Structures are given as C-alpha cells and as structure tokens.
Structure 1
Amino acid sequence: MLPQHLWALISSAVSVLAATTSTKRATICNGHAQFCSRLYSNVTYVGAHDSFAFSSDPLALARAQEVNITAQLQLGVRLLQAQAHMNSDNVLHFCHTSCLLFDGGSVLSYLQTVKTFLDENPNEVLTLLFTNPEGLSPATVWKPIFDAAGISNLTYIPPSLPVKQSDWPTLGSMIDAGTRVVVFLDSQADGPEPVNFILPEFSMVWENPFSVTNASFPCSVNRIHGPLATEDHIYLINHVLDKDIIPIGSGVLIPDPFDASTTNGVTSILADANGCVPLGGNRAPSFVLLDFVNIGEGFKAADMLNGIASSIKQQCRQRRRFSHIEQQQQVGGSSDEGTAREGMAMGFMDMDFGFLLWLVGLI
C-alpha cells in the first residue's frame, strides 16, 4: 500500500490534470494566434456591404456582391451588413430600399446560413450589422428570428452599455466563452423594447460618409451618438464607391463593379483608413466595408492594418475553397442558402424590370 503522502501527491496531480484538460483555450482566433490576446476592438475586419445582394449577373444593377454569404465568409469576411424590410407576406426580408429592387430572401434563411458557418468554424468571431429603417421592434421582430436560427446563445452580451473601445473583451475570451457573435442594429436597439444582445450601433460605432462617388474618400465623422466621446467609439469606414447613372437632381446611385479592383486595392483602402485615423483616436478602423469583396485586395489591406503579413499559403487555401464553392454553384447551386436562393433568379429578373420602371419614373 502506498504511503498516505504519496496518495495525496497523486490525488493533487490528478486534480491539476483534470482542471487543465477541462479548460480548453483558443490558440487560433480568426485565423491568427496573435489575435487571441487582442481586444475585439483592436482588430480590423473586412465587411461585406449589402451582403445579401449577391448576383453574378452584371445586369442586376442593385447587386453589391458577386458571391453568396457562404463564399463571403470563406473568403474572410467577418462583418456582414444588411438592410431589412417587412415584405408583403409580413416576413422580415433583407432588401435594399425596396424588396422590388432586390429581395435577398428572409432574414431567418440568411441567419441559418450564418449559423452553419459558425458551427463549422468554432474559432471565428463574427459581427452582424443590420439596418432597421422601418424601426421594427428588436424584442418582438428581431429576437425571435435570432432564436429560431440558433444564434442568440452565441451572442456577446456586454455587462453594461455603451462599451468603450478599451472595454471590449479579447477574441480569445469571446471564443472560449462561446459568445462570438456581436450584433449591432442602427435603429431602435436602445428604444423602448431593447434586447440585451442587440446593441445600438452608433452609441459605440461611428461611420464615415456613405453613398460616396468621390474615389478619394474624404473622411469625416458622419454618424455617431453619445454619450461616449468619438475616440471611445470603434469605427467603420464605408469604402464603397457608387456610380451616379442618372446625374439629375439627387441622382441615382448604384454600386460600381467596374472600378472595384481599384477601389478594393491596398492603395485605396489604406489611404481611406489613414484619412480616418486622426478622427479615430489614432487607431485603425475596426471595420472596412466593401462591395464586391471577391475583387481586389481587401483582405491583404486588412492584414496590413492588423500588422500581419499576408500568408501566400492561406491565400492559396482560400482560393481553393472558393473554387470549390463556385463548382458547387455551377452544379445546381449550393443548398446552404435554403429557400432564399431558390427565388433569387426570379428576383433578379423582377428587380431589373422594376429598377428600369423606377428610373423612368424619376426622369
């Protein structure tokens, strides 16, 4: 029989081993080991503007992306932006301005696609930034959809609001806690029916101007709420270049795919970011919002803003994964978009005809 002191030593060692093995900590966060110790607010993320409005059809004038949600995420997008409207069937859809122009399908279908990605990529922190122009209730409209998609229990809930730039948690701690989805809403999140995980955007995030047609992207603080000082907000740059196709009156702006390779180039993105740095507490932007994220060098620019050299191996891996997605789409389409994707082709045709009618009405 072992002496009592040896039993005590063995028992202590087993306890330490059990505690060590039961506490698994993330060692890679959003693709990089060094990100695990960085605050959420000290990382620059590439965002997809109007992420739902994807089409490979160049005649789909209202499109803002060429590739679907899954492809955007596989490429490295870590902020998805979308605008919601209640459609004629009283179902919340992602559409821009009007669902007659571009109907991206139901918010539920969209979030189910996002949930699939999150399940398959447990070490990724993702931000959802949704526009709520109709002022719909976070509690009675938005939250039930997040619940149904299975995302509510993955969201980050701050201990108090608003959250200062320096008070956000690290990516590693968010991943370890399983609270790796940050949800911002631009309207009503701080209204009479708040939800603890749906955060008021402009109380914590400021943006530079949008609907820009000037390729030099002059920076100014365009949208912000108190009580935090500007430098205590994180910020988003709308690095989205529009084209005025009918320069009469207020004009008609559409995303510009023809200059996307230049707009989404390193030179243009870094110049835009550097122009905003003095307004953002001498910090890089947290979010770089782009149209046509599969074109240009947006991810390389983000790596540079994060102080990380782009990995050639990682870029090749992304291209291979993206090629696989393209092949799936060519062979009957991917199933991850659910019912939303089934209606997209008709939506594109309807959108083009409706868009032309809208233009005629404006002239």
Structure 2
Amino acid sequence: MLIQAAAICLLYSSRAVAQSGSSSETDLGTGIATTLTGSNTASVTLNGGNYVAVTSRITYASNGETITFTSTGTSYSRPTDLSSVLANATGTSTGRNSTSATQTLLVGGTAASSGNSSSSIATATTSSARPTNTVPCNGYPEFCTRSYSNITHVCAHNSPFNRPGNIASNQELPVLSQLNDGVRMLQFQVHDQNGTLWLCHTSCELLNAGPLETYLQTVAEWMQRNPYDVVTILMGNYDVLPPDRFVEPVRNSGLLQYVYTPPKVPMSIADWPTIGSMLLQSQRLVMMLDYEADQNEIPWLLDEFSYVWETPFSPTEPSFPCTVERPPDQPEDMSRERLYMANHNLNLEVAIAGASLLIPASNALNVTNGLEGEGSAGWAVANCTSDWNRPPNYLLVDYYNIGSFNGSIFQVAANANGVSYDRDSCCDTTQRDFSSGAVTVMRPASSLLLALVAGTFLIFVW
C-alpha cells in the first residue's frame, strides 16, 4: 500500500505544469491521478486514505503592459542606518552617512563617502589612490558592480527535500550547507495542511520537510550572518493559494526586512540593479511565487513568469534543449529581454505498481552536474549561451554537491560568470560568518544514501 501511495504521489513532477491543452487519467486503485497540461495544474489531497486529484485553473500574467509601483504595499520599512549590515570581513564597519543610505563597499584604504544615491555603489573621494574592493558580493568582489541579471546563480531544486533514504529527495545537504557552499537560489513547493503552509514533495505523506516558516527562519538567520549576499527564493504554489497566505511566514521568519521590491512589473534584464546596490539598500532577497502572485497587493512577492522564463522541466533525456516552455507562447524578442532558468535536473522514469514515476537520476550525477561532455551542465550552459547570446541566470540542479568533482556545478557557474572558483570551498566544509570575521570548520558531509538496492526502490517515510 505504501508503494502504491508513493506511486500516485510521484506521478506529479515537483512543478507539474506543461503546455498543450490535454489531460489523462490513470486509475491505480487508491484514487485517480490526473496529469493536466496547458494553463492548468494538479494537486493531490488525502481523502479517507485515497489520493484524489484536485484541479485549479492557472493563468499567466499578461506582459502587455508595464505597471509601475507607487507604494510599498506590505513591504517592510527599512532603517536608513545600514552600518550593522555593511560590515567588512574584519568585523569593522565601512564609512557611512547616518542621514542617508550612502555607503561604500571599498576596503583596503581610507575612503570617504561622496554622498551618491543609494541606487549605486558609492564612489570614494580621497587624496590617495582609490582602494580596491576586497569585499565579496555573492562570493566574488567582481559581482558588487555587476547587475543581478548578469550573473548565473546556482539553484537548489527542491532545496528542503534532503531526506536520506527517500526517493523523493532532491538534495543530500541541508539548506545551511547549500548557502554556505554558494547556492544562491532556493526552489521548493509549498502545501496547505489544515491552514498551515508546509514544505512537502508532491504529498505530505510522501516527504514532509516541516513548516515553511521554520525553513525561512533558517534562511533569515543565515542572511543576518552574511550581509554581503543576495539570495533568491522561488516558491511553488502547489495548492494555488491566494498570495497573501505567504506573507505571514515571511514576516514571522524575519526575512521581510530583506525583500527586494522591484520598481515595476515586468522588468527587462537591463532594469535590474547591481548586486552592490541591492546590498546597500538591504533589499537582498528576491522572493518569487510561480503562480497567483499579485504585485499590486504585495509588490515584493514577484510573479515569476513576469520576470523569468524556464526551459523544459523534469527532463528524462540528457539533451536539455534551451527552449522556452513556461510561460507558454512567449514571443522570442520578449524572452531575450527576460531572465531565464535552465532546468538541468535529469530524471529517471521507473515503473512501480503499474505507474510511471519520475525520480532524480542519481546514477548520472557525475555527468549531469559535470563540467564538460554531452549532457553535462557545462555543455548545456554553453548551448544556452550560444542560443541566447548570454548564459542562464539560474541553473537548477539536483544534488548540487555531486558531479565530475565535488562542487563541479559551481565551477560551471564560475566559468559562465567569468570568475575563478576555489574548488576546496565545497562542499559542507566551511561556514562563513562576516559578523565576527570567523570561518568555522564544519564536519564533512556524510555520503549520499541512494534509495536503490538491487533494482528495488525503498521508501522510508519519516
């Protein structure tokens, strides 16, 4: 019975929406599993022990007009004194002007603030030579003056789902390790369980990673310790909930003070600010919702597909075409002006209890997350760069720490970004803490526990 229930649950990809306008049904004895395409999605609820498909209408926001935000809605009101945020790696604060958000990220010499707008990194006025910036923004000093839209960010697919022995898991290491290692985008799906938002993979009976608020609190505590990093969170609205349901967990977690509020919707790649200016304004959390976002009501909860398009998701073939799948029917000229995500997580299709299931292809991770060769992340990024004249903004992967060498996916991103990557920094070995200037050595990660024994998939539901 457990295997049958899991089979029904896993019929749904972690982000199950495709593009044409058809549907199909499979009767597995314990309920009806429905796979929908087009502008629909499917969710699964437990009804007296049976899994029953519940469908809801999904619509994509129209990009035909631009909306400029004139109010902050439910945004957090930020303090102007950012000295506690902009501390350098030695634990001392940089120069600041207490009457404005003017700061400097320049370290290594005497510098005075010039009073420039906080929308850009402040320049230094000094009689000596201008010092070199040594503070890493998102891990690299070069990123401080680079646009958010001009960086390839490594994204942990289904970030919270790292349960050993559960085939629904997509990661080996927890979110703190992901962030410490350099993951800068966290993606996952959210389910409504009796009025509380939980992190569940397809079904809370299959894999439950706890409340959304608890997970976000962990991220908030990390961001407090790491003031030079911009993080992106993409939430999957699995049950198609009203967007205001997501406000309280974000507020209670402590993350609301960091959210980025865009000036308008949609935005082209040229509209995005630099990483440095996002840090200076303490707007260093880009929060996205895949469906049902309403930025007129909640400006900081971004409608994903007004800003980002995605390549085909849940692929089972290592060809990884760099084509637009969502939003559907988006004109090419518009796609060229938007951020984009390369879904580079290879899946295996297996049959259990008469059902066809998709699970991470763990046996191919050394290639899929590798640096070179057909089907590798390096190869796919090169193809995307050729097709679109720029690399992906987000590289979504399973088991980010495993590849042709540990952390090879970060080397792929570094190559795309034109920076040098320290291979010894991965994985799960160090914890950066800029508030004290300390680097704490952590216990090495345990080996990956694969749920594959002699061709039999074992499920342990915790």
Q: Normalising to structure 2: TM-score of the pair?
A: 0.62
1:161 maps to amino acid:
V
The whole-number CA distance in structure 1 between the counterparts of 2:148 and 2:317 is: 31
Structure 2 stretches lacking a partner, 5+ long: 1-93, 106-134, 432-439, 448-457
1:253 maps to amino acid:
L
2:233 maps to amino acid:
L
The whole-number CA distance in structure 1 between the counterparts of 2:307 and 2:225 is: 29
Q: How does 1:250-289 map to 2 (within 5 A)?
A: 251-267=356-372, 268-280=376-388, 282-289=389-396
Checking the alignment, whether the CA contact within 8 Å between 1:241 and 1:256 is kept in structure 2 is: yes
Checking the alignment, whether the CA contact within 8 Å between 2:316 and 2:346 is kept in structure 1 is: yes
Q: Where does residue 415 of structure 2 map in the other structure?
A: 304
What is the CA distance between 1:210 and its match in structure 2?
0.9
Seen in structure 2, the aligned counterparts of structure 1 residues 216 and 250 have a Cα distance that, compared at 3 Å, is: farther
Considering only aligned residues, what root-mean-square deviation do their CA atoms show, in Å?
2.7
The whole-number CA distance in structure 1 between the counterparts of 2:306 and 2:421 is: 33
SS in 2 for 1:259: helix
Is 1:115 the equivalent of 2:220? yes
Seen in structure 2, the aligned counterparts of structure 1 residues 217 and 327 have a Cα distance that, compared at 3 Å, is: closer
Seen in structure 2, the aligned counterparts of structure 1 residues 37 and 261 have a Cα distance that, compared at 3 Å, is: same
Q: Where does residue 152 of structure 1 map in the other structure?
A: 256
Is 1:106 the equivalent of 2:211? yes
Q: Where does residue 200 of structure 1 map in the other structure?
A: 303
Q: Where does residue 30 of structure 1 map in the other structure?
A: 138
1:49 maps to amino acid:
H
- Select 1:71's aligned residue among 138, 163, 177: 177
Checking the alignment, whether the CA contact within 8 Å between 1:242 and 1:255 is kept in structure 2 is: yes
Please say which of residues 21-30 and 252-261 is displaced more in the overlay: 21-30
Q: For residues 121-168 of structure 1, what are the alpha-carbon distances to aligned partners after superposition, in whole Å with 9 as ceiling and x for unaligned?
A: 0000000011102111112x1011111111112111011111111100
Q: Where does residue 167 of structure 1 map in the other structure?
A: 271
SS in 2 for 1:352: coil
Q: For residues 4-58 of structure 1, what are the alpha-carbon distances to aligned partners after superposition, in whole Å with 9 as ceiling and x for unaligned?
A: xxxxxxxxxxxxxxx9543432342111111011100000110000001003x2x
2:430 maps to amino acid:
R
SS in 1 for 2:198: strand
1:189 maps to amino acid:
A
Q: Where does residue 43 of structure 1 map in the other structure?
A: 151
Structure 1 stretches lacking a partner, 5+ long: 1-18, 331-350, 356-363
1:244 maps to amino acid:
E
Please say which of residues 90-99 and 120-129 is displaced more in the overlay: 90-99
SS in 2 for 1:182: strand
What is the CA distance between 1:271 and its match in structure 2?
1.6
What is the CA distance between 1:274 and its match in structure 2?
2.4
Q: Where does residue 358 of structure 1 map in the other structure?
A: none
Checking the alignment, whether the CA contact within 8 Å between 1:188 and 1:194 is kept in structure 2 is: no
What is the CA distance between 1:98 and its match in structure 2?
1.0
What is the CA distance between 1:106 and its match in structure 2?
0.5
- Select 1:186's aligned residue among 282, 290, 308: 290
Seen in structure 2, the aligned counterparts of structure 1 residues 329 and 274 have a Cα distance that, compared at 3 Å, is: closer
2:256 maps to amino acid:
S
1:68 maps to amino acid:
P
What is the CA distance between 1:216 and its match in structure 2?
2.4
1:84 maps to amino acid:
V
SS in 2 for 1:222: coil
Checking the alignment, whether the CA contact within 8 Å between 1:221 and 1:279 is kept in structure 2 is: no
Identity of paired residues, percent?
36
Checking the alignment, whether the CA contact within 8 Å between 1:60 and 1:352 is kept in structure 2 is: yes
Question: Number of residue pairs matched?
Answer: 309
Q: For residues 307-353 of structure 1, what are the alpha-carbon distances to aligned partners after superposition, in whole Å with 9 as ceiling and x for unaligned?
A: 112235xx3476531794446999xxxxxxxxxxxxxxxxxxxx926
Q: Normalising to structure 1: TM-score of the pair?
A: 0.79
What is the CA distance between 1:249 and its match in structure 2?
8.1
Is 1:320 the equivalent of 2:425? no
Checking the alignment, whether the CA contact within 8 Å between 2:157 and 2:396 is kept in structure 1 is: yes
The whole-number CA distance in structure 2 between the counterparts of 1:149 and 1:20 is: 30
Checking the alignment, whether the CA contact within 8 Å between 2:429 and 2:444 is kept in structure 1 is: no
Query: Which structure is higher in RCO with an 8 Å CA cutoff and minimum separation 6?
Result: 1
The whole-number CA distance in structure 1 between the counterparts of 2:394 and 2:173 is: 20
Q: Which aligned segments of 4 or more residues in structure 1 are displaced greater than 3 angstroms?
A: 225-228, 247-250, 316-320, 322-330
